[in-house]
């Protein structure tokens, strides 16, 4: 694991897990027939998408558990050229002053209102405070990321 320091902090999980898998399969088949030993590289290539999916699912479960516990916000998983990255965006502090306030009326669906009410039921926040905090958090995340991200989908062997 490597840690990068920036506004967006990442922990990289390089593709060395496939080398480890190949090494373990070769060790397990050392006494097997030559045909089985020759099948190890093909088996590793076939298992690569499943291993990557398992790693991604583990990271997503970790993020979900941390966010449910209220420990961390701004965590996400990125696919990098050399593996997966667990990334954390540090929110940019927005001024929290009460001057220059604007009063608005917001019309939201009843289901959204009920979801917000359920979300804040265990806290001392009002719905207005929760909406302002959620808006600030969203705007802070928007200003943090300066990298252009690419999305690549598909299978590789």
Instruction: Express each pLDDT in 21-62 by its tens digit.
Output: 889 999 999 999 999 999 999 998 898 888 888 888 888 888
Residue 99 included in any domain:
no
Look at residue 37 and tell me if it is in a domain.
yes
**Are 84 and 111 in the same domain?**
no
- pLDDT tier, 1 (very low <50, low <70, confident <90, very high otherwise): very low
Query: Could you tell me if 154 and 18 are in contact, meaning their C-beta atoms sit under 8 angstroms apart?
Result: no
Q: Identify whether residues 47 and 65 lie together within a single domain.
A: yes
Q: Domain range spanning residue 140?
A: 104-151
What is the number of domains present in the chain? 2
Same domain, 46 and 13: yes
Indicate whether 85 and 114 sit together in one domain. no
């Amino acid at each position: 694991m490597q840690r990068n320091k920036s506004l967006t902090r990442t922990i990289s999980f390089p593709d060395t897990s496939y080398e480890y898998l190949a090494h373990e399969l070769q060790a397990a088949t050392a006494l097997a027939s030559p045909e089985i030993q020759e099948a190890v590289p093909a088996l590793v290539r076939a298992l690569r998408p499943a291993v990557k999916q398992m790693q991604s699912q583990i990271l997503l479960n970790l993020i979900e558990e941390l966010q449910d516990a209220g420990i961390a916000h701004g965590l996400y998983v990125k696919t990098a050229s050399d593996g997966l990255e667990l990334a954390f965006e540090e929110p940019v502090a927005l001024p929290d002053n009460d001057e220059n306030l604007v009063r608005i009326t917001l019309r939201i669906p009843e289901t959204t209102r009920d979801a917000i009410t359920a979300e804040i039921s265990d806290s001392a926040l009002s719905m207005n405070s929760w909406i302002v905090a959620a808006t600030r958090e969203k705007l802070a995340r928007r200003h943090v990321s300066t990298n252009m991200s690419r999305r690549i989908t598909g299978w590789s062997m």
